[in-house]
């Protein structure tokens, strides 16, 4: 069964034939909401809205540990993350879809591991490649089959939020090698790795990052909504194509 975590702009899957919803209790507290089970093109899927179904949970307060644990508990064999981001690279403008391959973590204070009890042995995971390579390739094949253009690869900088970044911070991220900036990529990716859940992402560029747009007026949130609406239609096509491949 494939798990899909939807971010801003994707709080539900139109093509999901819902069979049931389930509230899952976890040792780490409450997930962002009930899990929605169903089928897409005869493929079993479980969906979770990262920020809650009313989009009320800010990035720094998402219970990432509960979310990933719940998906693993109900039998998910892989996780696709959908998230909106800001584009740092010149060719990563509004509406572009990216399947990232690396992460830089600038967050702080988040519960970022399942191995934090003092009575447990120290546990390390290899995080050289934060996204599962096989699942990334499946996403890229699905995009090609759906006729949707995506960029293969990109470095995702994860910031604390919920505020957006300053232009100086974006300049720093670029010097560090980042191509995209978002607020939810970590610790989600590493928690999936600790649970041995294959994890990959589709990033939707909603806007140019701070200081990168041609306008000096800052970021237009009205424009972001328009971009996300159109781009998420394309993301849904890719997810449908992925499920057809699995069926």
Nearest alpha carbon to residue 236 among 79, 3, 15: 15
Tell whether residue 209 is among the known ligand binding residues: yes
What's the start-to-end Cα distance of the chain, in Å?
11
d(CA 156, CA 101): 8
In the numeric block, which tokens belong to residue 92? Answer: 């990563």
Question: E strands along 88-159, which residues?
Answer: 97-99, 102-105, 151-152, 155-158
Tell whether residue 15 is among the known ligand binding residues: no
Helical spans, DSSP H, in 24-74? 64-73
Tell whether residue 60 is among the known ligand binding residues: no
Tell whether residue 67 is among the known ligand binding residues: no
Tell whether residue 51 is among the known ligand binding residues: yes
Tell whether residue 50 is among the known ligand binding residues: yes
d(CA 179, CA 88): 5
Nearest alpha carbon to residue 91 among 217, 7, 180: 180
Name the binding residues: 8, 50-51, 183-184, 207-209
Name the binding residues for phosphate: 8, 50-51, 184
Name the binding residues for substrate: 183, 207-209
């Amino acid at each position: 069964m494939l798990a899909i975590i939807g971010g801003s702009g994707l709080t539900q899957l139109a093509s999901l034939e819902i069979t049931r919803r389930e509230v899952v209790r976890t040792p780490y507290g409450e997930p962002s909401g009930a899990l929605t089970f169903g089928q897409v093109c005869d493929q079993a899927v479980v969906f979770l809205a990262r920020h809650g179904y009313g989009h009320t949970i800010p990035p720094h307060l998402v219970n990432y540990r509960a979310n990933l644990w719940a998906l693993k508990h109900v039998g998910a064999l892989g996780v696709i993350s959908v998230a909106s981001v800001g584009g740092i690279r010149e060719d990563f403008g509004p509406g572009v879809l990216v399947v990232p391959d690396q992460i830089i973590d600038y967050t702080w204070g988040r519960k970022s591991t399942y191995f934090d009890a003092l009575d447990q042995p120290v546990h390390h995971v290899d995080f050289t490649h934060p996204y599962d390579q096989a699942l990334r390739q499946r996403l890229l094949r699905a995009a090609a089959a759906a006729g949707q253009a995506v960029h293969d690869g990109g470095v995702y900088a994860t910031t604390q939020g919920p505020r957006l970044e300053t232009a100086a911070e974006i300049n720093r991220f670029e010097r560090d090698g980042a191509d995209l900036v978002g607020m939810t990529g970590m610790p989600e990716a590493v928690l999936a790795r600790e649970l041995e859940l294959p994890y990959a992402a589709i990033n939707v560029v909603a806007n140019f990052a701070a200081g990168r747009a041609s306008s000096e007026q800052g970021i237009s949130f009205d424009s972001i909504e328009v971009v996300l609406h159109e781009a998420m239609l394309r993301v849904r096509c890719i997810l449908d194509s992925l499920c057809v491949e699995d069926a």
